[in-house]
């Protein structure tokens, strides 16, 4: 599975496709952001509509760092997302 890392406010986040398939099939993907900072995991999830490739790994590779930061701004905590099983 494709993974990328980037830093926001001094905290490193790993981003990867969540693997969840929605009713929209290849028209919508979800990404999982994970940070292992300070001894605890933080997980955030966001869904987006790809503009290029309709394969989740390729679509992630096409996103720029600026686009990832923007998507991170729209992300929601794991406990509000079905992709993570509403994990607390």
Please count the structural domains in the chain: 1
Give pTM, 2 decimals: 0.85
Q: Are 42 and 14 in contact (CB under 8 A)?
A: no
pLDDT in tens, 3-35: 899 898 888 999 999 877 777 677 888 899 999
Alpha carbon 30 to its chain centroid, in Å, reads 6
Beta bridge partners of 30: 47
Helix (H) or strand (E) holding 4: strand 4-8
Encode pLDDT of 29-59 as tens digits. Answer: 889 999 987 778 899 999 998 888 888 889 8
Residues in a beta bridge with 11: 8
Domain that holds residue 11: 4-84
Which residues lie below 8 Å from residue 74, measured CB to CB, with a gap of 6+?
A: 46
């Amino acid at each position: 599975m494709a993974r990328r890392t980037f830093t926001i406010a001094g905290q490193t986040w790993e981003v990867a496709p969540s693997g969840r398939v929605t009713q929209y099939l290849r028209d919508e993907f979800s990404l999982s952001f994970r940070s292992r900072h300070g001894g605890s995991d933080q997980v955030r999830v966001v869904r987006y509509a790809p503009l290029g490739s309709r394969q989740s790994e390729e679509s992630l590779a096409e996103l720029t760092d600026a686009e990832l930061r923007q998507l991170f701004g729209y992300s929601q905590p794991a406990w509000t997302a079905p992709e993570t099983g509403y994990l607390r």
